[in-house]
Amino acid sequence: RRTQAYCTALGKVLLAYQSPSAVDTYLASVDLKPLTHNTITSAEALRAELKKIRTQGYAHDNEEMLVDHACVGAPIRDHTGYVIAALSIAGLIDRFSVYGFDHLVIKVEDTARAISRDLGFSG
């Protein structure tokens, strides 16, 4: 299924590593409408979230697209270091609690790094 980038971990990862002008173009073309009570609905809040994602290296969707669902995503880089894709795991929030959020973040980041290394990224 297709959905907007602003409300998913995968989409936010891909947006976070775009140029500021590409993010501006995206924001000019999208209506940041609420899908749930946690959906980011302002350009300023989304820009702050994208900055946080670049700093921490992963994105989190906490009921932003679907109630009771969460997602964690991390970037996949090519041999030049450019983010070309993202990897995520998604599921019911109570399952995230069972496995532990921090544990799942580590697994997603480790897997994304392994794929990036397979693509020639050495950073």
Q: What is the pTM of this model?
A: 0.93
- State how far the Cα of 95 lies from the Cα of 104, in Å rounded to an integer: 10
- The DSSP secondary structure of 19-65, one letter per residue, reads -HHHHHHHHHH-----SSTT----HHHHHHHHHHHHHHS-EEEESSS
User: Per-block average pLDDT, block size 10, for the chain (123 residues)?
Assistant: 90 97 97 97 97 97 95 97 96 91 96 98 90
Residue 1: the pLDDT is 66
Q: What is the structure's pLDDT at 123?
A: 80
